[in-house]
Amino acid sequence: MKNGPSKRISAVNAILLTAVSLISVAAIAIPSARAASSLLPADQCDAEAGSEHDLQRNFVFRPVATEDLRIGIALSACREAYNQGSGPRQTFELARVLHAAGQHGQAMAMLEKAAEGNHAIAMVNYAVMLGDRGDHASEFALYQKAAASGNILAAYNLGVAYRDGIGTSASGALATQWFERASVAKDNLGAFNLAVMLDEGTQIPEDNRRAAQFYMLAADRGNVDAMINLGIMLESGEGMPADTAAATAIFARAAEKGDAFAMSKITQPQIDTATTASLKPSEQAALVSAKTSRLK
């Protein structure tokens, strides 16, 4: 890719705080958890505040998305469970609800307690908060510990840390390993960031064929930026044979998700690679849409 047009290959730089919402709630009525359910407080907390990213959650209950938290009921149940000496899972769930309620200081204190209890997703979220405060060494150490337990978000975050040198020395090889672990666990961002590294070839050797494979994985998992990059590679024949029909199809998928660039692509005349084959490489490159950076 070094001599080709620049792609929309900007890696996702923000480290995830997926299990904790950033929504502030000004005023919350807190009904009694016991009045809302006959479940014990610990079970009620699990039912009201379990996270899909928590592999240690109570699988008897369905996970609750942040936007679906019934904050009053969940906060009452989780506080009562915590006061009764429940374990690190409910402590994490209490932290999750507190954060959604805008009580970030209390949430951080609860995350610290849950992390001390070896609750992996709590470690990840507590690490993010420590990183926001500038303690990157502790942040990195917690990602390592959580990733060792198999946590996918921790694996992804370790990839970011090694790529960008956050709390550790930058290492393209180690970043690649952790992004690939996240990708194997079906994480679309892990696949996308690994594709970017293979595509750019700055920290690891450039490999457009493998980059296309990981863009395809990320695209199949719904990553729009991966769809765009894969479509442009299909247009230009980078890392694979040129296929304008396949490029159009994947641009159409991205357009369905509201991507403006993809919408413009499917309304433009497609490049006829047969008639442009005799052009100089620099002339062919001028016909291919440039890939632009997109930060998230």
What would the two tokens of residue 243 be?
A: 């296929």
The SS3 of residue 290 is coil
- As a whole-number percent, the residues of the chain with pLDDT over 70 amount to 78
CA dist., res. 193 & res. 10, Å (int) = 8
Say which residue, 286 or 197, is predicted with more confidence: 197
- As a whole-number percent, the residues of the chain with pLDDT over 90 amount to 76
The pLDDT mean for the chain works out to 85
Q: How confident is the model at residue 18 (pLDDT cuts 50, 70, 90)?
A: very low
DSSP 73: H
On the question of pLDDT at 1 being above 90, the answer is: no
Q: How confident is the model at residue 266 (pLDDT cuts 50, 70, 90)?
A: confident
Tell me, what's the pLDDT at 20?
A: 39
CA dist., res. 212 & res. 231, Å (int) = 10
Range in 80-84, 207-211, 268-272 the model is least confident about: 268-272
Q: How confident is the model at residue 9 (pLDDT cuts 50, 70, 90)?
A: low
8 Å CB contact between 51 and 96? yes
Alpha-helical regions (H) of 149-280? 152-164, 172-184, 188-200, 208-220, 224-236, 244-256, 260-266, 273-276
Tell me, what's the pLDDT at 38?
A: 84
| Segment 255-271 mean pLDDT | 83
Say which residue, 47 or 20, is predicted with more confidence: 47
On the question of pLDDT at 22 being above 70, the answer is: no
| Segment 202-220 mean pLDDT | 96
Contacts 24+ apart (CB under 8 A), 61-66: 66/20, 66/21, 66/23, 66/96, 66/100
On the question of pLDDT at 87 being above 70, the answer is: yes
| Segment 238-245 mean pLDDT | 92
The predicted-structure confidence for 125-171, as pLDDT tens digits, reads as follows 999 999 999 999 999 999 999 999 999 999 999 999 999 999 999 99
Half-sphere exposure in the Cβ direction for 256 (13 Å, CA)? 9
Q: Using alpha carbons, select from 154, 139, 234, 161 the residue that is nearest to residue 187.
A: 154
Q: Is 117 exposed, middle or buried (0-12, 13-18, 19+ CB in 10 A)?
A: middle
On the question of pLDDT at 286 being above 70, the answer is: no
Sign for the pseudo-dihedral over CA of 275, 277, 281, 287: positive
Which residue's structure tokens are 């926001």? 132
Query: What letter represents residue 98's amino acid?
Result: L
Q: How far is CA 26 from CA 71, 77, 167, 212, in A?
A: 12, 20, 35, 46
Domain boundaries defined on the chain: 1-133
Q: Using alpha carbons, select from 149, 147, 150 the residue that is nearest to residue 159.
A: 147
On the question of pLDDT at 283 being above 70, the answer is: no
The predicted-structure confidence for 40-85, as pLDDT tens digits, reads as follows 999 999 999 999 999 999 999 999 999 999 999 999 999 999 999 9
Max Cα-Cα span within the chain: 77
